[in-house]
Amino acid sequence: PKVLRHVAVLKLAEEEARVLVGEPNEAALRALGVPEVVVTLGSRGSLVYADGRLEQVATQPVGGPIDPTGAGDAFAVSYLAARAGGHAPAASARRAGALVTGLLARRLR
């Protein structure tokens, strides 16, 4: 879509990425024309496309049944805050994943 020419960072859930590009691999994410794309994969972590390469970032799984409501929003806010603070894309995804894991774990208590 033409609007993506004006986007610097795009965060998508896995389902959204599949609708937009099919399989969210390096070539498909590069073809979007967005310099930085983050695809959240739920308990499997995230994919970060930045600086012309794709990196998978793992996350710590949360044991037990969880309600993931708001997890994507929390990830996005934490990721952008880390990027604004000077952290690299993959490091920002690790920080965001850790924050979301902590939030979800608190809901189990």
Q: 64 pLDDT exceeds 80?
A: no
Residue 66 near residue 107, CB atoms below 8 Å: yes
In this predicted model, what pLDDT tens digit does every residue of 2-59 receive, in sequence order?
899 999 999 999 999 999 999 999 999 999 999 999 999 999 999 999 999 999 999 9
| pTM exceeds cut of 0.85 | yes
Q: Which of 100, 75, 92, 95 is nearest to 36 (CA)?
A: 92
Second-level CATH architecture of 2-108:
3-Layer(aba) Sandwich (3.40)
Q: Is the pLDDT of residue 108 over 80?
A: no
- Rounded Cα–Cα distance for residues 105 and 23 (Å): 30
- Please answer whether residues 77 and 99 qualify as being in contact, where contact means their C-beta atoms are separated by less than 8 angstroms: no
